[in-house]
């Protein structure tokens, strides 16, 4: 059953197309990932689906309700955890949750039970009466997730839920997210620019780049579409003739360039490396390094966009500056 349906959704800020005609659906009970660099349009998409931003064009339904005509019904069926913390540091964890419950008209014994249940779910029941200012970064993120679940939403939106956390805490957060999805059967929409996070958590992944949806499938199927092995070469010297030859070679399935490297997708990659090195010498393309690995989601992103997500990170400040300028016009 589709719990979210998006058709040709767009959001423009002046001449900047932050989201540009994307379409997809999310199935009930799945973890669905929006993967891409900062500034790609992930957060703008989430803000439209949660009725914070109104679309420039297109349509979407969340839990059966139109985001442009039934905003109140949409909000009553969703929970949200955004990138920026919004907890009250001068209240305890329990008090933060109680305040949020009151906003949803949950009171009395029902409120006490729900607060107790979500604190246990995110393993903060022993820290319930500690001031939030004394929580670690990971504890705060878990409390925000608990707050988003207090009214038992059908859909939980997590916008970069592990940003700013250390690797160990990030991995623990992944386990909490999987746990609540399995135990509560909550549909989760996750935005991230961490490749490994999407690969570990998501049932399906949509790649967004410059406001457009460029690929969508399960992580395994996206990787299988590339097929074979990835041979990554760092070249110097006269590489143009070498690259031209590789593009015409029958056993090279795909070829892409990024960040000073050339990636070749081939079958039985370990057997092809000696021949590739000989071709490099023939065409005077000095190969300074060679690596071999199975396709990853990062390779999929490179295949569809020609860039790594790390490269794209550099454009984020420029994108945000353009958004602010467009808003001020």
Which residues neighbour 215 within 8 Å (Cβ) at sequence distance 6 or greater? 206, 207, 222, 300, 304
- Sorted by where each begins, the domain ranges of the chain are 2-222, 228-294
Q: What is the CATH number of domain 2-222?
A: 3.40.50.300
On whether the CB atoms of residues 157 and 42 are closer than 8 A, the answer is no
CATH fold match for the domains 2-222 and 228-294: no
Closest CA to 173 of 186, 187, 190, 185: 190
Please list the pLDDT of the chain residue by residue as tens digits (329 residues). 899 999 999 999 999 999 999 999 999 999 999 998 888 999 999 999 999 999 999 999 999 999 999 999 999 999 998 888 789 999 999 999 999 999 888 999 999 999 998 898 888 999 999 999 999 988 998 899 889 888 889 999 998 888 888 888 888 889 888 988 888 889 999 998 888 999 999 999 999 999 999 999 999 999 888 888 899 999 877 778 888 888 888 888 888 887 778 899 998 888 999 989 888 888 888 888 999 998 889 888 888 887 777 654 544 344 444 445 544 54
Q: Is 161 exposed, middle or buried (0-12, 13-18, 19+ CB in 10 A)?
A: buried
The whole-model pTM stands at: 0.81
Assign domain 228-294 to its CATH superfamily: ACT domain (3.30.70.260)
């Amino acid at each position: 059953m589709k719990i979210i349906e998006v058709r040709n959704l767009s959001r423009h800020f002046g001449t900047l197309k932050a989201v540009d005609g994307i379409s997809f659906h999310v199935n009930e009970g799945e973890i669905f990932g929006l993967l891409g660099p900062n500034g790609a349009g992930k957060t703008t998409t989430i803000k439209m689906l949660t009725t914070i931003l109104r679309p420039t064009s297109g349509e979407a339904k969340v839990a059966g309700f139109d985001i442009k005509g039934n905003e109140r019904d949409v909000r009553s069926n969703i929970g949200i955890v955004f990138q920026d913390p919004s907890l009250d540091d001068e209240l305890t964890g329990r008090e933060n949750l109680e305040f949020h419950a009151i906003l949803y008209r949950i009171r009395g014994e029902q409120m006490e039970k729900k607060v107790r249940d979500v604190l246990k779910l995110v393993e903060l029941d022993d820290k319930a009466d500690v001031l939030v200012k004394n929580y670690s970064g990971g504890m705060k993120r878990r409390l925000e997730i608990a707050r988003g679940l207090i009214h038992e939403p059908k859909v939980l939106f997590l916008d970069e839920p592990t940003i700013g956390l250390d690797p160990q805490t990030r991995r623990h957060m992944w386990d909490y997210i999987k746990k609540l999805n399995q135990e509560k059967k909550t549909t989760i929409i996750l935005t991230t620019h961490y490749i490994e996070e999407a690969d570990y958590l998501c049932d399906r992944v949509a790649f967004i780049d410059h406001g457009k949806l460029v690929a969508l499938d399960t992580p395994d199927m996206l990787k299988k579409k590339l097929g074979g092995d990835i041979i990554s070469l760092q070249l110097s010297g006269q590489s143009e003739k070498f690259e031209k030859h590789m593009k015409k070679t029958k056993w090279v399935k795909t070829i892409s360039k990024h960040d000073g490297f050339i990636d070749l997708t081939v079958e039985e990659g370990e057997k092809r490396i000696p021949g590739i090195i000989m071709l490099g010498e023939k065409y005077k393309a000095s190969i300074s390094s060679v690596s071999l690995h199975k396709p990853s989601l990062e390779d999929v992103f490179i295949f569809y966009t020609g860039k790594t997500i790390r490269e794209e990170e550099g454009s984020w400040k420029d994108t945000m500056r353009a958004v602010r300028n467009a808003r001020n016009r």
